[in-house]
Protein backbone atom coordinates (compact mmCIF):
# COMPACT_ATOMS: atom_id res chain seq x y z
CA UNK A 1 0.00 0.00 0.00
CA UNK A 2 2.63 2.47 1.07
CA UNK A 3 4.65 1.50 -1.97
CA UNK A 4 1.79 2.27 -4.36
CA UNK A 5 1.19 5.62 -2.73
CA UNK A 6 4.86 6.40 -3.07
CA UNK A 7 4.84 5.53 -6.75
CA UNK A 8 1.71 7.62 -7.38
CA UNK A 9 3.23 10.55 -5.54
CA UNK A 10 6.46 10.19 -7.49
CA UNK A 11 4.68 10.11 -10.85
CA UNK A 12 2.54 13.08 -9.91
CA UNK A 13 5.52 15.10 -8.77
CA UNK A 14 7.55 14.31 -11.86
CA UNK A 15 4.71 15.05 -14.28
CA UNK A 16 4.13 18.41 -12.67
CA UNK A 17 7.81 19.09 -12.79
CA UNK A 18 8.10 18.18 -16.46
CA UNK A 19 5.14 20.36 -17.38
CA UNK A 20 6.42 23.39 -15.49
CA UNK A 21 9.91 22.86 -16.87
CA UNK A 22 8.71 22.71 -20.46
CA UNK A 23 6.63 25.86 -20.06
CA UNK A 24 9.61 27.61 -18.57
CA UNK A 25 12.11 26.47 -21.14
CA UNK A 26 9.75 27.42 -23.95
CA UNK A 27 9.03 30.81 -22.50
CA UNK A 28 12.62 31.68 -21.59
CA UNK A 29 14.16 30.60 -24.87
CA UNK A 30 11.40 32.18 -26.92
CA UNK A 31 11.82 35.52 -25.18
CA UNK A 32 15.59 35.30 -25.50
CA UNK A 33 15.32 34.90 -29.25
CA UNK A 34 12.47 37.38 -29.50
CA UNK A 35 14.55 40.20 -28.09
CA UNK A 36 17.69 39.22 -29.95
CA UNK A 37 18.71 41.13 -33.06
CA UNK A 38 17.80 38.18 -35.29
CA UNK A 39 15.48 39.08 -38.12
CA UNK A 40 13.56 35.95 -39.10
CA UNK A 41 12.50 37.40 -42.42
CA UNK A 42 16.05 38.22 -43.45
CA UNK A 43 17.11 34.78 -42.28
CA UNK A 44 14.40 33.17 -44.39
CA UNK A 45 15.04 35.22 -47.49
CA UNK A 46 18.79 34.86 -47.34
CA UNK A 47 20.20 35.59 -50.78
CA UNK A 48 16.90 35.20 -52.64
CA UNK A 49 15.57 38.19 -54.52
CA UNK A 50 12.06 39.05 -53.32
CA UNK A 51 9.38 41.55 -54.20
CA UNK A 52 8.14 43.97 -51.51
CA UNK A 53 4.74 42.25 -51.56
CA UNK A 54 6.30 38.88 -50.92
CA UNK A 55 8.34 40.42 -48.12
CA UNK A 56 5.22 41.87 -46.49
CA UNK A 57 3.60 38.49 -46.76
CA UNK A 58 6.54 36.88 -45.04
CA UNK A 59 6.53 39.52 -42.32
CA UNK A 60 2.89 38.72 -41.76
CA UNK A 61 3.73 35.01 -41.57
CA UNK A 62 6.56 35.49 -39.09
CA UNK A 63 4.48 37.92 -37.09
CA UNK A 64 7.03 40.71 -37.15
CA UNK A 65 4.38 43.21 -36.21
CA UNK A 66 2.45 41.17 -33.64
CA UNK A 67 3.26 41.85 -29.97
CA UNK A 68 5.62 39.29 -28.38
CA UNK A 69 3.09 37.93 -25.84
CA UNK A 70 0.62 37.12 -28.57
CA UNK A 71 3.34 35.65 -30.71
CA UNK A 72 4.46 33.43 -27.84
CA UNK A 73 0.92 32.21 -27.22
CA UNK A 74 0.46 31.44 -30.91
CA UNK A 75 3.74 29.58 -31.03
CA UNK A 76 3.12 27.71 -27.78
CA UNK A 77 -0.39 26.81 -28.94
CA UNK A 78 1.05 25.34 -32.13
CA UNK A 79 3.63 23.39 -30.17
CA UNK A 80 1.01 21.85 -27.93
CA UNK A 81 -0.67 20.69 -31.12
CA UNK A 82 2.64 19.20 -32.17
CA UNK A 83 3.41 21.83 -34.80
CA UNK A 84 6.91 23.18 -34.34
CA UNK A 85 6.83 25.24 -37.50
CA UNK A 86 8.97 24.95 -40.60
CA UNK A 87 12.74 24.82 -40.62
CA UNK A 88 14.24 27.64 -42.64
CA UNK A 89 17.33 25.81 -43.78
CA UNK A 90 15.90 22.37 -44.40
CA UNK A 91 12.63 23.70 -45.78
CA UNK A 92 10.57 21.06 -44.07
CA UNK A 93 8.60 20.72 -40.81
CA UNK A 94 10.87 21.08 -37.77
CA UNK A 95 9.39 17.97 -36.21
CA UNK A 96 10.50 15.87 -39.18
CA UNK A 97 14.01 17.28 -39.09
CA UNK A 98 14.24 16.58 -35.36
CA UNK A 99 12.85 13.08 -35.72
CA UNK A 100 15.38 12.13 -38.36
CA UNK A 101 18.35 13.89 -36.79
CA UNK A 102 17.63 12.87 -33.23
CA UNK A 103 17.36 9.22 -34.25
CA UNK A 104 20.79 9.38 -35.84
CA UNK A 105 22.21 11.09 -32.76
CA UNK A 106 20.54 8.66 -30.39
CA UNK A 107 22.31 5.79 -32.12
CA UNK A 108 25.63 7.60 -31.80
CA UNK A 109 25.04 8.66 -28.21
CA UNK A 110 23.60 5.29 -27.21
CA UNK A 111 26.61 3.35 -28.45
CA UNK A 112 29.07 5.77 -26.88
CA UNK A 113 27.13 5.83 -23.64
CA UNK A 114 27.11 2.07 -23.26
CA UNK A 115 30.72 1.67 -24.28
CA UNK A 116 31.90 4.52 -22.08
CA UNK A 117 29.89 3.27 -19.15
CA UNK A 118 31.30 -0.23 -19.40
CA UNK A 119 34.91 0.76 -20.04
CA UNK A 120 34.81 3.53 -17.44
CA UNK A 121 33.40 1.22 -14.81
CA UNK A 122 36.02 -1.44 -15.43
CA UNK A 123 38.86 1.08 -15.39
CA UNK A 124 37.49 2.68 -12.24
CA UNK A 125 37.24 -0.65 -10.45
CA UNK A 126 40.78 -1.62 -11.45
CA UNK A 127 42.19 1.75 -10.42
CA UNK A 128 40.32 1.78 -7.12
CA UNK A 129 41.26 -1.79 -6.27
CA UNK A 130 44.93 -1.12 -7.05
CA UNK A 131 44.94 2.28 -5.42
CA UNK A 132 48.38 3.85 -5.30
CA UNK A 133 50.02 1.40 -7.69
CA UNK A 134 51.31 2.29 -11.15
CA UNK A 135 48.16 0.85 -12.75
CA UNK A 136 46.09 3.28 -10.71
CA UNK A 137 48.39 6.16 -11.57
CA UNK A 138 48.29 5.37 -15.27
CA UNK A 139 44.51 5.24 -15.29
CA UNK A 140 44.33 8.46 -13.30
CA UNK A 141 46.64 10.31 -15.67
CA UNK A 142 44.69 8.99 -18.64
CA UNK A 143 41.42 10.21 -17.11
CA UNK A 144 42.77 13.62 -16.17
CA UNK A 145 44.17 14.17 -19.62
CA UNK A 146 40.97 13.07 -21.32
CA UNK A 147 38.82 15.23 -19.07
CA UNK A 148 40.97 18.23 -19.96
CA UNK A 149 41.05 17.49 -23.69
CA UNK A 150 38.84 19.66 -25.87
CA UNK A 151 36.30 17.32 -27.45
CA UNK A 152 36.66 18.73 -30.92
CA UNK A 153 40.43 18.54 -30.79
CA UNK A 154 40.35 14.88 -29.87
CA UNK A 155 37.95 14.36 -32.76
CA UNK A 156 40.38 16.15 -35.08
CA UNK A 157 43.30 14.07 -33.87
CA UNK A 158 41.36 10.86 -34.50
CA UNK A 159 40.39 12.13 -37.91
CA UNK A 160 44.02 12.84 -38.68
CA UNK A 161 45.22 9.46 -37.46
CA UNK A 162 42.50 7.13 -38.70
CA UNK A 163 41.30 8.89 -41.81
CA UNK A 164 44.23 10.92 -43.13
CA UNK A 165 47.20 8.87 -42.01
CA UNK A 166 45.82 5.33 -41.88
CA UNK A 167 43.08 5.88 -44.40
CA UNK A 168 40.65 3.56 -42.65
CA UNK A 169 37.73 5.93 -42.90
CA UNK A 170 36.74 8.53 -45.47
CA UNK A 171 37.68 12.09 -44.54
CA UNK A 172 34.64 13.83 -45.92
CA UNK A 173 32.10 11.86 -43.97
CA UNK A 174 29.39 14.29 -44.78
CA UNK A 175 26.26 13.54 -46.64
CA UNK A 176 24.88 16.51 -48.51
CA UNK A 177 21.90 18.16 -46.90
CA UNK A 178 18.73 16.67 -48.29
CA UNK A 179 20.06 13.16 -48.65
CA UNK A 180 18.13 11.14 -46.10
CA UNK A 181 19.30 8.16 -44.15
CA UNK A 182 17.44 5.85 -46.53
CA UNK A 183 19.88 6.59 -49.34
CA UNK A 184 22.82 5.49 -47.27
CA UNK A 185 23.83 1.87 -47.12
CA UNK A 186 24.25 0.10 -43.83
CA UNK A 187 27.99 -0.15 -44.35
CA UNK A 188 28.27 3.59 -44.94
CA UNK A 189 26.30 4.11 -41.81
CA UNK A 190 28.59 1.97 -39.67
CA UNK A 191 31.66 3.54 -41.21
CA UNK A 192 30.38 6.97 -40.38
CA UNK A 193 29.53 5.90 -36.87
CA UNK A 194 32.75 4.35 -35.62
CA UNK A 195 35.01 7.36 -35.24
CA UNK A 196 32.41 9.71 -33.73
CA UNK A 197 31.28 7.02 -31.31
CA UNK A 198 34.88 6.27 -30.33
CA UNK A 199 35.66 9.94 -29.68
CA UNK A 200 32.49 10.55 -27.74
CA UNK A 201 32.87 7.50 -25.56
CA UNK A 202 36.54 8.04 -24.76
CA UNK A 203 35.73 11.45 -23.36
CA UNK A 204 32.91 10.05 -21.29
CA UNK A 205 35.10 7.25 -19.92
CA UNK A 206 37.14 9.69 -17.84
CA UNK A 207 34.23 10.91 -15.74
CA UNK A 208 32.71 7.53 -15.00
CA UNK A 209 36.11 5.94 -14.30
CA UNK A 210 37.12 8.62 -11.81
CA UNK A 211 33.75 8.41 -10.10
CA UNK A 212 33.87 4.61 -9.88
CA UNK A 213 37.38 4.80 -8.51
CA UNK A 214 36.41 7.27 -5.78
CA UNK A 215 33.33 5.26 -4.87
CA UNK A 216 35.24 2.01 -4.73
CA UNK A 217 37.86 3.55 -2.47
CA UNK A 218 35.05 4.81 -0.28
CA UNK A 219 33.49 1.35 -0.18
CA UNK A 220 36.85 -0.27 0.52
CA UNK A 221 37.32 1.93 3.56
CA UNK A 222 33.80 1.29 4.82
CA UNK A 223 32.98 -0.54 8.02
CA UNK A 224 31.57 -3.53 6.20
CA UNK A 225 34.70 -4.06 4.13
CA UNK A 226 36.77 -3.72 7.28
CA UNK A 227 34.64 -6.45 8.81
CA UNK A 228 34.92 -8.60 5.70
CA UNK A 229 38.70 -8.31 5.96
CA UNK A 230 38.53 -9.13 9.66
CA UNK A 231 36.77 -12.32 8.61
CA UNK A 232 39.55 -13.33 6.31
CA UNK A 233 38.37 -12.04 2.94
CA UNK A 234 41.28 -10.81 0.89
CA UNK A 235 42.13 -8.44 -1.94
CA UNK A 236 40.14 -9.28 -5.03
CA UNK A 237 37.53 -11.26 -3.04
CA UNK A 238 36.55 -8.08 -1.28
CA UNK A 239 36.37 -6.05 -4.49
CA UNK A 240 34.30 -8.69 -6.26
CA UNK A 241 32.00 -9.49 -3.34
CA UNK A 242 31.41 -6.05 -1.90
CA UNK A 243 32.99 -3.47 -4.20
CA UNK A 244 31.18 -4.03 -7.47
CA UNK A 245 27.89 -4.70 -5.72
CA UNK A 246 27.96 -1.37 -3.93
CA UNK A 247 29.49 0.80 -6.64
CA UNK A 248 27.36 -0.34 -9.58
CA UNK A 249 24.16 1.53 -8.76
CA UNK A 250 25.74 4.92 -8.07
CA UNK A 251 27.81 4.58 -11.24
CA UNK A 252 24.76 3.77 -13.36
CA UNK A 253 22.94 6.69 -11.79
CA UNK A 254 25.80 8.98 -12.70
CA UNK A 255 25.72 7.75 -16.29
CA UNK A 256 22.07 8.74 -16.52
CA UNK A 257 22.79 12.12 -15.00
CA UNK A 258 25.36 12.71 -17.74
CA UNK A 259 22.87 13.12 -20.59
CA UNK A 260 23.43 16.86 -20.71
CA UNK A 261 27.18 16.53 -21.24
CA UNK A 262 26.65 13.69 -23.67
CA UNK A 263 24.52 15.97 -25.78
CA UNK A 264 27.14 18.73 -25.67
CA UNK A 265 29.79 16.25 -26.73
CA UNK A 266 27.72 14.98 -29.61
CA UNK A 267 27.26 18.51 -30.95
CA UNK A 268 31.04 18.93 -31.26
CA UNK A 269 31.77 15.44 -32.50
CA UNK A 270 29.07 15.59 -35.15
CA UNK A 271 30.47 18.89 -36.34
CA UNK A 272 33.97 17.51 -36.86
CA UNK A 273 32.86 14.26 -38.48
CA UNK A 274 29.96 15.83 -40.38
CA UNK A 275 27.70 13.27 -38.79
CA UNK A 276 24.12 14.13 -39.78
CA UNK A 277 22.70 14.29 -36.26
CA UNK A 278 20.84 16.70 -34.05
CA UNK A 279 24.03 18.46 -32.94
CA UNK A 280 24.99 19.40 -36.44
CA UNK A 281 21.44 20.60 -37.05
CA UNK A 282 21.61 22.71 -33.88
CA UNK A 283 24.83 24.38 -34.98
CA UNK A 284 23.45 25.03 -38.47
CA UNK A 285 20.24 26.42 -37.00
CA UNK A 286 22.22 28.70 -34.69
CA UNK A 287 24.63 29.93 -37.33
CA UNK A 288 21.93 30.56 -39.90
CA UNK A 289 19.28 31.90 -37.54
CA UNK A 290 16.80 29.09 -38.09
CA UNK A 291 14.74 30.05 -35.05
CA UNK A 292 11.96 27.44 -35.27
CA UNK A 293 14.46 24.61 -35.58
CA UNK A 294 16.69 25.95 -32.82
CA UNK A 295 13.78 26.31 -30.41
CA UNK A 296 12.54 22.85 -31.33
CA UNK A 297 15.96 21.35 -30.64
CA UNK A 298 16.19 23.19 -27.33
CA UNK A 299 12.86 21.71 -26.24
CA UNK A 300 13.75 18.19 -27.28
CA UNK A 301 17.18 18.33 -25.72
CA UNK A 302 15.58 19.49 -22.47
CA UNK A 303 13.27 16.48 -22.67
CA UNK A 304 16.27 14.26 -23.27
CA UNK A 305 18.09 15.59 -20.20
CA UNK A 306 14.91 15.34 -18.13
CA UNK A 307 14.51 11.73 -19.13
CA UNK A 308 18.04 10.89 -17.96
CA UNK A 309 17.49 12.62 -14.63
CA UNK A 310 14.18 10.83 -14.23
CA UNK A 311 15.77 7.41 -14.60
CA UNK A 312 18.47 8.41 -12.12
CA UNK A 313 15.77 9.47 -9.67
CA UNK A 314 13.90 6.21 -10.14
CA UNK A 315 17.06 4.24 -9.36
CA UNK A 316 17.68 6.43 -6.36
CA UNK A 317 14.16 6.23 -4.95
CA UNK A 318 13.02 2.73 -5.83
CA UNK A 319 15.91 0.47 -6.69
CA UNK A 320 18.67 1.25 -4.23
CA UNK A 321 17.82 -0.40 -0.87
CA UNK A 322 20.33 1.78 0.92
CA UNK A 323 17.99 4.73 0.55
CA UNK A 324 15.29 2.81 2.42
CA UNK A 325 17.85 2.09 5.08
CA UNK A 326 18.63 5.77 5.50
CA UNK A 327 14.94 6.64 5.58
CA UNK A 328 14.31 4.03 8.23
CA UNK A 329 17.11 5.32 10.42
CA UNK A 330 15.92 8.93 10.33
Partner 1 sequence: MSTAVVTVNRGLFRGLNLRQKTLLIIGSTSLLLLAIVISSVFLEGESLQTDFGSKNLAPSLEHPFGTDWMGRDMFIRTLEGLGLSILVGGFASTISTVLTVILGLLSSAGRSADAFVSWLVDLFLSIPHLLLIILISIGMGGGATGVIIGVALTHWPSLTRVVRAEIKQLKTQEYIHISRNLGRSKWWIATKHILPHLVPQILLGTILMFPHAILHEASVTFLGFGLSPHEPAIGIILSESMRYLSAGYWWLAFFPGLSLLIVVLAFDIIGENLGKLMNPKNAHE
Partner 2 sequence: MGDKVEISTKNELMTAFKAVAGNKRKTEALLNVEDLSLSFTQYASGLRQTELKVISNLSLQAYKGEILAVVGSSGSGKSLLAHAILGILPSNAKLDGKIEYDGEELTQARKEEVRGNEIALIPQATTYLDPLMKISSQVIGCVERKNEGLMRKLQREVFQRYNLRPEVERMLPHELSGGMTRRVLVSTAVISSSELIIADEPTPGLDEKTLNETLSYFKGMADRGCAVILITHDIEAALKISHKIAVFYAGTVLEVANVEDFKNNGENLRHPYTRALWNALPQNRFQAIKGHQPMQDEVTDGCIFYERCSKKKALCSQGIPQLKQVNGGMVRCNNAA
**Positions that interact with partner 1 (CB under 8 A):** 21, 24-25, 28-29, 32-33, 35-38, 131-132, 144-145, 147-154, 156-157, 159-160, 164-165, 171, 217, 259-261, 263-264, 267-268, 271-272, 282-283, 286-287, 289, 294, 297-298, 301-302, 304-306
Q: CA–CA separation, 114 vs 108, rounded Å?
A: 10
Q: Which is nearer to partner 2, 248 or 303 (CB)?
A: 248
Q: Which stretch binds partner 2 (CB under 8 A): 141-149, 194-202, 222-230, 301-309?
A: 222-230
Nearby residues of 269 by Cβ (< 8 Å), 6 or more positions away: 108, 151, 152, 155, 196, 199, 200, 275, 279
Q: Give the closest residue to 322 by CA, choosing from 254, 259, 248.
A: 248
Q: Which is nearer to partner 1, 52 or 132 (CB)?
A: 132
Q: Does 322 bind partner 2 (CB under 8 A)?
A: yes
From 153, 245, 264, 287, residue interacting with partner 2 (rule: CB under 8 A) = 245
Binding residues for partner 2 restricted to 127-146, rule: CB under 8 A: none
* Residue 30 and residue 79 in contact, taking contact as beta carbons nearer than 8 Å: no
307: partner contacted, choices partner 1, partner 2, none (Cβ within 5-8 A by kind): none
Q: CA–CA separation, 205 vs 120, rounded Å?
A: 4
226: partner contacted, choices partner 2, partner 1, none (Cβ within 5-8 A by kind): partner 2
Radius of gyration of the chain (CA): 24
194: partner contacted, choices partner 2, partner 1, none (Cβ within 5-8 A by kind): none
Q: Does 231 bind partner 2 (CB under 8 A)?
A: yes
Q: Which stretch binds partner 2 (CB under 8 A): 67-75, 100-108, 153-161, 236-244?
A: 236-244
- What residue ranges bind partner 2 (CB under 8 A)? 221-224, 226-234, 237, 241-242, 245-246, 321-322, 324-325, 328
Amino acid sequence: MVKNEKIAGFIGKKTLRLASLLVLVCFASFMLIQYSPIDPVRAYIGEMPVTPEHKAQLEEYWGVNTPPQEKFLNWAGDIIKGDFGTSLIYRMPVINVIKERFTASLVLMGISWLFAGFLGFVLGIVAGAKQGTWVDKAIKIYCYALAAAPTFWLALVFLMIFSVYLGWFPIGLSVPIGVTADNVTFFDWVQRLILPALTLSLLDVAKIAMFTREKLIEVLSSDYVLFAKARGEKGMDVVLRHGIRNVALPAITLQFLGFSELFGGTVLVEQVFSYPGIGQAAVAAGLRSDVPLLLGIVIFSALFVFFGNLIADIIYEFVDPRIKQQEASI
